Structure 1
């Protein structure tokens, strides 16, 4: 059972300066030791969220995203940042409508509708303003940076991969370095249904700590190896609303990125007690080995 995390007293007092007295606090963290999120309830029924970032880098990314990128999603399509406190890496957020899509027992048709709206919101996010010089440089280097991470994850995964699997991952990392120009923009960075809220009002995105300038196709990796692998109709619905087909170079990059995601999952999942993440990596790597070396 996950241990409930207490809201730090200093953070609560800071939040109450903006919200007024808080009547109740609920731990709303993900099942990960570095996730720290709480739902606050006011005396008159109002609600807010407080999030404490796991690192300075994530805090900087997320606060910047809320101020300059997230508004492109539109009204009620994401929480709003009410205040932030750098000393505690804390953010005070409004509550976006909806509940996490995976827990709603949605029908096949409803899932297609969810993915259609996700495609629309991703397009808005990816096109949220022109990249400045610094952001452009970061985006242009994003695929190379992903390839550079392969050796780190191979080292962490150790003997969870065979020699042939390690060779396969290195081959895909090398191919990723040779991918031609691909569309760039601001990506969500953890684009998957657990960060999608669904309601009668439509879809909303949450959790922008990994939002950054990058190759847009990097936002599709988790979907490609989970949702879309078993449900191609969801991929079709997403891409129709996304507004364009992926380029040949994007398709090639996406396949390379799935191999790097696999070794990342096999490095991170077992060490952090996440069997679902581990299974995602193993399934992807088994599939790539079969398809590349039948």
Structure 2
């Protein structure tokens, strides 16, 4: 039923408990994973999302839970229910075992593989070609018109600019001037992963698998290229070509691509400053520097 683990595989590992979960979440997990014990905490630590690896006999699962204001768990549950079927069909994504949106908790099967980020696979065009194919099948399953998309993109960018940040005043003013000229109409949106990059990919002996649907939502397809664009594509243009080849076409409209990059860079710099993620904040500032050179 769940992912299998070999006998004795977890011997010597210090088990951690479910202390990070509230009472309702613990009760939910204990009801669905009887006799389970936590063997690893995979939480990033930058948000209140908790990600735990749990072993119950020969099986292991992933438990994800969030705090009272957490919106990621609801998005992840929706992503699994509404859009993950094409990935599940090929074993590219986990299967959701149980979920409680009110309690902000879900349990999925465990996926084999090593995180692509920080490994040689992060520079392998073959991995990125697979990523292109997986994003295409995800995007192509559904499309609809969102009459408020462009207005919300503009509002989101200005909202981040209004937060405390360390964006250079020259750049902040250039952003405001540019955003004032952005369109306010609608756009075609598709299912997107929302954080499509190597830290959410697993390499299972050359086969790419996908994790973390916590930002899944209907957006323009450009949104699933933007985080690759600010880092991996810059490092090696062959990776961009591989994604496009796997996708089968380049879905990026040049004007929307520019707006998406500006919004992403501002949001990264401001949000990372708020959570004191200095490395991530530096990524946002570098992106802004490329978009608004002196």
Shorter-chain TM-score bucket reads 0.7 to 0.9
The 5 A counterparts of 1:23-102 are: 23-44=37-58, 46-54=59-67, 55=69, 57-73=71-87, 74-102=89-117
State whether structure 2 residue 30 is matched by structure 1 residue 16: yes
The question of whether the paired residues in 1 share the 8 Å contact of 2:25 and 2:104 is answered with no
**In structure 2, how many angstroms separate the alpha carbons of the residues matched to 1:11 and 1:264?**
31
Tell which deviates more after alignment, 234-243 or 49-58. Answer: 49-58
1:216-231 counterparts in 2 under 5 A? Answer: 216-231=221-236
Partner of 1:239: 244
Quick check: 90-99 or 162-171, which moved more? 162-171
What's the CA shift string for 1:90-132, capped at 9, x where partnerless? 0011112212101333374xx211111111111011112354x
- Distance of 2:218 and 2:122 partners within structure 1: 34
What is the count of residue pairs matched by the alignment?
276
Per-residue Cα deviation, 1:47-86 (whole angstroms, up to 9, x for no partner)? 1011013546433322121012011223321111110123
Structure 2: how far apart are the matches of 1:251 and 1:259? 13
Match of 2:134 among 117, 121, 125: 121
Query: Do structure 1's residue 255 and structure 2's residue 258 form an aligned pair?
Result: yes
Give the CA RMSD over aligned residues.
Answer: 2.5
What is the deviation of 1:163?
Answer: 3.3
- Preserved CA contact (<8 Å) 2:143 2:191: no
Q: Which residue of 2 aligns with 1:197?
A: 202
Which secondary structure does the structure 2 equivalent of 1:170 belong to?
A: helix
Partner of 1:280, secondary structure, is helix
User: In terms of mean alpha carbon deviation, does 235-244 or 259-268 score higher?
Assistant: 259-268
1:101–1:194: 8 Å Cα contact kept in structure 2? yes
- Per-residue deviation, 1:239: 0.5
Determine the C-alpha separation between the residues in 2 that align with 1:141 and 1:100.
36
Structure 2: state its 5+ residue gaps: 1-16
What's the secondary structure of 2:106's corresponding residue?
strand
Does the 8 A contact of 1:52 with 1:90 survive in 2?
Answer: yes
Q: 2:170 aligns with which of 152, 164, 171?
A: 164
Determine the C-alpha separation between the residues in 1 that align with 2:275 and 2:158.
Answer: 19
Q: Report the secondary structure of 2:62's partner residue.
A: strand
TM, length-normalised to structure 2: 0.85
Unmatched 5+ residue regions in structure 1? none
Structure 1 residues 106 and 129, CA gap change in structure 2 (3 angstroms): closer
1:1-47 deviation digits (Å, cap 9, x = unpaired) = xxx98343543442232232114432110131412111001123x11
Aligned mates of 2:191, 2:140 — CA distance in 1 = 7
Inter-partner Cα distance in structure 1 for 2:18 and 2:241: 40
1:288 and 2:291 equivalent? yes
